[in-house]
Homo-oligomer: A and B are copies of this chain.
Amino acid sequence: MSEEETINKAWQEFVEFIKSKGDRVTRARQIIFEHVMRRHDHFRADDVALKLSGGQERVSRGTVYRTLALMEESGFVRAFSDGDTHRHYEHVYGHKHHEHFICEKCGKFIEFENPELLEIITRCSKTYGFEESSHKLVVFGLCRDCQD
């Protein structure tokens, strides 16, 4: 499935989500949704707002924030914070769940995954009678390139 097809499929699902809430499918939401799905990096809302403020079809800052919240609610993006005050996003659709290394020197994000980790988290949750819905793990340190 090409990226274009994947995005279309995701958009259809997002449309369903919007409709199921009794909300409306709008051009602005589509522009933002597609932009975000095409990005494979970690980004901030403000950055999306900036990128979408220049083109032919402009979208306002407020709408970007509101749509990103919708996308988070529906699980198409994941938000997290790098210990800084700023919220970061990444799109989730079609990505395996993963954790992050963040390099404290160059700021790079590196993704990794490990099935055992997931098992242990599930096991710990059970032990504490906690009903897990999601988790975020970030490991801080130095990436290969930034070590002496």
Interface residues of A (CB under 8 A from B): 79-81, 83, 85-87, 99, 101, 103-104, 110, 112, 114, 116-117, 120-121, 124-125, 127-144, 147
B135 close to A147 (CB less than 8 A): no
Which listed residue (B112, B120, B125) contacts A128, Cβ 8 A? B112
Contact assessment for B120 and A130 in the assembled complex, using a CB-CB cutoff below 8 Å: no
Residues of B within 8 A of A83 (CB): 79-81, 136
By a CB distance below 8 angstroms, the chain B residues around A131 are 141-143, 147
Tallying the copies of this chain within the complex gives: 2
Most chain B Cβ neighbours within 10 Å, of A112, A125, A137 = A137
- Of all chain B residues, the one with the shortest Cβ separation from A137 is B137
Contact (A141, B117) CB under 8 Å given A80-B83, A83-B80, A130-B110: no
Residue from B114, B124, B134 within 8 A of A124 (CB atoms): B114
| Sample of 17 more A-B contacts, CB < 8 Å, known A85-B86, A117-B124, A132-B141 | A79-B83, A81-B81, A85-B85, A85-B87, A101-B125, A101-B128, A110-B128, A112-B124, A114-B124, A125-B139, A129-B144, A130-B141, A131-B142, A132-B139, A135-B138, A135-B139, A136-B138
Partner of A130, one of B80, B86, B143: B143
